[in-house]
Structure 1
Amino acid sequence: MNLKQYTKEFSYNFRLAYPVILGMVGHTLIGIVDNIMVGKIGATELAAVSLGNTMIFVAMSIGIGFSTAITPIVAEGNVENNDTKIRSAFHHGLFLCTILGLVLFGVIVLAKPMMEVMNQPADVITLAKPYLDWVAFSLIPLIVYQGYKQFADGMSLTKYSMYAMIMANVLHVGINYVLIYGIWIFPKMGIIGAALGTVISRIFLVMFMHIMLSGRNDLKRFFKKFSFSEIKKTTIKKIARIGFPSAMQMLFEVVLFSASVWLCGNIGKTSQAANQVALSLASLTFMFAMGLSVTSMIRISSQRGLQDFKKLVIVARSIFLLAIIIETVFAVLFVAFHEYLPPIFLKMENSGQVLDNAEVVSIASKLLLITAVFQISDGIQVVVLGALRGLQDVKIPMYITFVAYWVIGFPISYYLGEHTELKAQGVWIGLLAGLTTAAIFLYIRFHYLTKRLIINSDSNN
């Protein structure tokens, strides 16, 4: 293997990826800011936000996963200089994202009784329900924003989502600070203040994105004369054919991680709070792999459009290698700082919660050691999924992710968490097993498909 042919792609990969990474980190920071600010109030409030956000993340995964169908179609149209294809994918995608956002908001509000079914602590549920109502509403602008983002990504304009997310995050921190703690003329609203901060910042997120993209002279033609008469059933079906399995892939993984919150909630609120600390940090580093996954989808879509399959494989492997290197660095950092990171999320000087906080830190530090190990598996599986979406191969990967997470991962998490002394650590060992299985079999799928494409291409020439 000639390593140089892969490493020379690193520079272009990273130029495409870093704005996406910063935008994705911005997504995660909205939740982390809520966790840190709310954690200063108390462990029960932190557990309530954690419980509410698990339900939101499930819905968000469907919306984000579905919207990824827009990017490969736009990227192909961009390589082919086909404005009709680009405009159609953008308009239909935005239309479907708006409808999906409204549907997901309604589903989450109706699903609140599930908290009792999941046997979560009563004081946590009481705080989580009103928080959930508001954050569920924020899904509407968030999924609409995804329609804009995926269009921009497909045009290789990855910086705009980064700019929009930075501005939204600055706004979010400010609003959170005054509403959670009651600064100046504003009332002290606790976790409801955190929820309102999320809603307001996400509405501005869409506004920022629309203003920036529609203001570009080379994109104005895609924003003119939107009409419902342009909406065609055939295009909706095409986007849904890619979008639905993509949404399910993301859903299977996110629900597995959400199940870890529910399982840890059954063990106790300190385990649940510790799980949220570890999950927040793991989610932050995962966004780097997610950024590379988007890069993978964009570049593989372009190579597919050009029918250059040998170059496609080199590009894909260069992205896989870059993901492994980055996630290995994070793994080392988690091992080195596993005892120092958890206290950041808690008000350690709170004398009334000394025992709870000490237990949360002890559990979370052990979870971070497991997180360090699965960084690499998680990174590989998500960048390979991006490459497969670029090939518009989504159905088989959907089945692979289901088996990996729910036939292998969840049963291990459940058994080790509920029936052994490992408790929360056992839950996370199950997550590691699921991610590793997905990474192996998704790569096998990618290798099989690209080998077949190259053979067919060579035989036709």
Structure 2
Amino acid sequence: MIFSQDYKNHYKENLRIGFPVIMGQVGHMMTSLVDNAMVGNINSTLLAASSLANTVFIMIYIFGIGLSIGLTPAVGRAYGNEKHGQIASYLKNGKIIYLWTGLLLTIAMWVASYFFDKLDQPPEVVELAIPYFLTLSISMVPFMYYMSLKQFAEGVTLTMPAMWAGLAGNIINIILNYLLIYGEFGFPRWELFGAGVATTIARSLMAVFLFLILSRDKRVQKYLRAAKRLKIRRESIVNLLKIGVPIGFQFVLEVSAFVAGTIMMGWLGVYPLAAHQIAISLSALAFLAATGIATAATIRVSNFLGNEKYHKMRDAGNSAYVMGMALMIFTALCFIFLGRQISMIFTNDEMVIAISTQLLMIAGFFQIVDGAQAVGLGVLRGLEDVKIPTIIVVIAYWGLSIPLSYIFAFTMGMGAVGVWYGYLAGLSFSGLFLYLRFLHYSKKLTGKVV
């Protein structure tokens, strides 16, 4: 069945929709990586300050990303059902929700900055981190406007515009970083603060670029015009929040769980922490492929749900699982058999290489179940099923992963590998039960078809 012509068509569509999303995700990841790399060339104190600020920033802004993702399945379902007025309503009301969210998250970041000195970090690191962090916080409003356009466009199956806008934003970020971090061509040498200014300008321009690209697309123009005429609709706002808020919490739970794991690695010492950073960075990079397929699944499942083609909806979900698993198995094999060689690219410290190689062995299996979880969440978002998946994620991360990581690493004395075994156990639970949830939901819907 998975090699049938119908499934081949699903694979092509998943790839067409998912590839630009993957490239866009790489762009998001590159923003903080470029900041870290360019300030790290000056001194390690600036690098530490950048890492501290970005860690706290991500913990807050990730909720905004999750909240905005709720727009995609809502728009996707209306698009599949050809309810164009409803699509325009979601666009208008989504913008309002996410702009206010951006403002509230900015305020939350300013409040959080007062607690930096309570994080037991070196004073010189905190002093440098706060101005950079506050500058990044200003980017939240334009970034959330960008996300409202991006998630709307994805709902109507347009994923290329956000990719191009993100690419342009990253190029601008690199250029401005060079000018403002190092003070080249007569610009002020602002170092880490300059990186924050560059990122904020780049994110603002990304929103402008995406609006300009979409406003020139004939498929989108009618929705933009209609959205201007429409009034605020309570029903649209409530529906977007019902879908988006649980997704936002899913994202926060996941990110906070990995931060907790990093803290545990720090308790084990410098070498395990360094090895963990290598393994988790590689795993996150490989994971982007699964998120692209998951987004394609959200879009296509919601479209088929809207036009009540339930068997195609089920096949779209299953094809996403097949593609996600195939990609993750490929990366798993690379981690398992080439772990040492990959680790040597990042460090020449033999102790770090040895630990990292062990972690990448576990990461290989971790990739497979993490990919299953990502696709499962994407498929279920397409069905607008977010409450039960959130409960599954809570149990997986905070009921299993974190407690087991601590027990394996410290109580049982397994050390660094114990932390990763804990994650593997939790994600295995999540991946399995999300798939069972999809099977249950799809059987219930396909049973309606005569």
TM-score (norm 1): 0.89
Equivalences for 1:128-277 in 2 at 5 Å?
A: 128-224=129-225, 230-268=231-269, 271-272=272-273, 274-277=275-278
Distance in 2, Cα, partners of 1:3 & 1:121: 57
Q: 2:394 aligns with which of 399, 402, 426?
A: 402
Deviation of 1:448 after TM superposition, in Å, equals 1.0
Aligned twin of 1:351: none
Equivalent residues of 1:39, 1:345 under 8 A apart: no
Task: Report Cα offsets for 1:379-411 as digits up to 9, x if no partner.
Answer: 111111111011111111111100101110111
Contact 2:88 2:227 in 1 (8 A): no
Q: Residue 354 of structure 1 aligns with which residue?
A: none
Please report how far the alpha carbon of residue 231 of structure 1 lies from its aligned counterpart in structure 2 after TM superposition. Answer: 1.0
Question: Which amino acid is 2:245 matched to?
Answer: F
- 1:150-203 deviation line (CA, Å, top 9, x unaligned): 110011111011111111111112222333333332344333232222212111
Ranges in structure 2 where 5+ consecutive residues have no aligned partner: none
Q: In structure 1, what residue type is equivalent to 2:107?
A: G
Give 1:404's aligned amino acid.
A
d(CA) in 2 for partners of 1:273, 1:181: 27
Report the alpha carbon displacement of residue 107 of structure 1 after superposing the two structures with TM.
1.0
Whether 2:402 is the aligned partner of 1:382: answer: no
Normalised to the residue count of structure 2, the TM-score between the two structures is: 0.91
CA distance in 2, matches of 1:368, 1:66: 32
**What does 1:334-413 correspond to in 2, within 5 Å?**
334-341=335-342, 363-413=355-405
Question: What's the secondary structure of 2:218's corresponding residue?
Answer: coil
Q: Which amino acid aligns with 2:204?
A: I
Residue 125 of structure 1 deviates from its aligned partner by: 3.6
182 and 435 in structure 1: CA distance in 2 versus 1, 3 angstrom threshold: farther
State the partner residue of 1:17: 18
Separation (CA, whole Å) in 1 of partners of 2:335 and 2:396 = 25
* Contact preservation (8 Å) 1:60, 1:139: yes
SS of the residue aligned with 2:390?
A: helix
Q: Hey, what's the Cα distance between the residues in 1 that align with 2:21 and 2:341?
A: 28
Q: Deviations over 1:41-63 (max 9, x none)?
A: 45544343233222222223211
1:113, distance to aligned residue in structure 2 (A):
4.9
RMSD over equivalenced CA pairs, Å: 2.6
Any idea what the Cα deviations from partners look like across 1:93-118, whole Å, max 9, x if unmatched?
A: 11111111111111122123555555
Q: In 1, Cα distance between the equivalents of 2:116 and 2:275?
A: 19
Q: Per the alignment, in what secondary structure is the counterpart of residue 325 of structure 1?
A: helix
Is the Cα contact below 8 Å between 1:66 and 1:247 reproduced in 2? yes
Q: In the comparison of the two structures, how many residue pairs are matched? A: 449
CA contact 1:161–1:209 (8 Å) conserved in 2: yes
Question: Which of the residues 445, 448, 454 maps onto 2:440?
Answer: 448
Deviations 1:278-314 (A, max 9, x none): 3333222211111111100111011111212222211
Over residues 192-217 of structure 1, what are the superposed CA-to-partner deviations in whole Å (9 max), with x where a residue is unaligned? 23222221211111011011001223
Specify the alignment match of 1:330 in structure 2: 331
In 2, Cα distance between the equivalents of 1:39 and 1:359?
23
User: Could you list the runs of 4 or more consecutive aligned residues of structure 1 that deviate by over 6 angstroms after TM superposition?
Assistant: none
Identity of aligned residues (%): 34
Q: Distance in 1 between matches of 2:119 and 2:420?
A: 19
Partners of 2:273 and 2:206 in 1: how far apart?
30
Letter in 2 for 1:215: R
Partners of 1:417 and 1:11 in 2: CA distance:
43
Q: How far apart are 1:445 and its partner, in Å?
A: 0.8
